[in-house]
Amino acid sequence: MCSIEDVPNEVDVKIKSITKKCIKCKSTPTILIRHSTYCKQCFQHAFVGKFRKNMDKLRSVNSKGEKVMVGFSGGPSSSRAMLQLLSDYNEVLPNEISKKPLFSEVLVCHIDESSIFGLDDSDDHDVILSQVEQVAQNYNYSFIGLQIDDIYSPDYTSNGSYNKVLEVTFDKSKQQDIDELHAKICQQETSTKKKLQSLLDGVSKFTAKEDLAWHLKQCLLINTARKNGCTKLLLGDCSTRLSIKIISLTSKGRGFSLPLETSGLNSSFGDVTIVRPMKDMLSKEIGIYNKFQGFEATIISSLTSMMPPKSSIDRLTEEFIVKLERDFPSTVSTISRTAAKLTPPEFIDSDNRCIICLMPYQKDDKIWQSRITVMTTPSSSTIVKIQNSTSENSIINSSTCSGAATCCSSDCCTSKDLNICSLTDFLCYACRINMRDINSITLPPYVSEDVQKRSGRENLKKSIEEYFLNDDD
């Protein structure tokens, strides 16, 4: 196997630049993407062409003007390029009166994550916000700026006024079963910023922190799109970012929802379709396009900026794939092509969704997990517990519930608190794993609203269970 460290001798280098031509117009090439060389104009032409191809898939026969929302993080690569491409795609030139623009209105939504770092009062923060708003105004698009701690306000629940939060504590000292999650719905009077900070402080691992932050953002974006009547949500994930996501989601145990989280078109949320038009462009192409267009990038830090590679799974995967891509340029496209063959699960109803990440999960994956997990050494008591799981579980859960009445020691919870048994039944496998890292956290209202609905339904089902006819009757 030839070594990558070989220094190319001069003869090789000269031959490379003479024989390579732009594959479209045969002039001198200036850009190398994967194994093809392009000159500047052909590169830009091909780049725009990829975007248009993905957008044309959205056109259907009866499409009238739709409202779309663009998720704009303001980072250097995708969103900035996507806005420019979108505005070029959507504009109607004066000589093309018969052509109708696909989108009647475009809203740009930016979620400000500075509360995560506690940077609310610094000057840099305001500069970044105004830069982002300026960018949106350059295209005459309406701008919606949100703070990530807004997820704790009641505006983002389905009925619009649900204000209670879900307090979850995990007793690490017992270490017996994942069922040891004490959950309680109660009212809390602290500010949204403080709630968010306590949520992230209560989680120890960075992987779980990043996951939670992403789920909160996703919920915010979808609910904002719904509230504003947008039928489509455009996200700017490039193919490099998507293949990093594919590998890291697989490592975190989210393979079941992987086809939904990484596909170009995701209609599992019903009224809002999530579209990723940049999924065929490498981050390198986007970086070069931005440079040619002269875009100034705003600097947005994330939780793991400037951190060593092993700080979280996402960071490690990013390091791995980017390094591999440099020496083997077809890595990203191979990963994307392979993952595109996965089909999403067929039945997605509201009962089958994880309450935190809003993605579908498999039924009975909890039983599977308890079977493969070894938490204590096998003793007679544990074996008895598993065998009588269905009947015993309800007894065990009710005893932990009565114990949970003392779990919340703060005075701000009212007496109308609702204790939730079997919270883990409503979580997908990966979110359950994340719950292992917590001490005591407060989940936002959209989670507690869902939990209340679902446990209400479960209780109702149990009370009329004996009246159900079996299939074989």
Residues binding another protein (CB under 8 A): 7-8, 10, 13, 16-17, 20, 29-32, 37, 40, 73-80, 235-238, 240-241, 283-284, 286-288, 290-292, 297, 299-302, 305-306, 318, 322-323, 325-326
CB nearer to another protein: pick between 282 and 421: 282
CB nearer to another protein: pick between 22 and 441: 22
Distances (CA, A) of 91 to 51, 138, 142, 208: 15, 14, 16, 42
Query: Pairing relation of β-strands 36-38 and 418-420?
Result: unpaired
Minimum separation from the CB atom of position 193 to another protein (A):
24
Sign for the pseudo-dihedral over CA of 54, 211, 344, 444: negative
Minimum separation from the CB atom of position 143 to another protein (A):
18
Alpha helix locations (H) across 203-263? 206-227, 239-252, 258-261
Alpha helix locations (H) across 274-417? 283-293, 313-327, 331-339, 365-372, 380-387, 389-404
CA distance 259 to 313: 19
Sign for the pseudo-dihedral over CA of 97, 98, 104, 105: negative
CB nearer to another protein: pick between 300 and 407: 300
CB nearer to another protein: pick between 18 and 469: 18
Length of the chain: 473
Minimum separation from the CB atom of position 241 to another protein (A):
5
| Structure tokens belonging to residue 366 | 């909890």
Distances (CA, A) of 221 to 163, 356, 395: 19, 14, 40
Single-letter residue type at 473: D
CB nearer to another protein: pick between 305 and 414: 305
CB nearer to another protein: pick between 79 and 273: 79
Minimum separation from the CB atom of position 164 to another protein (A):
33
Minimum separation from the CB atom of position 426 to another protein (A):
29
CB nearer to another protein: pick between 169 and 240: 240
Minimum separation from the CB atom of position 256 to another protein (A):
23
Minimum separation from the CB atom of position 284 to another protein (A):
6
CA distance 183 to 195: 16
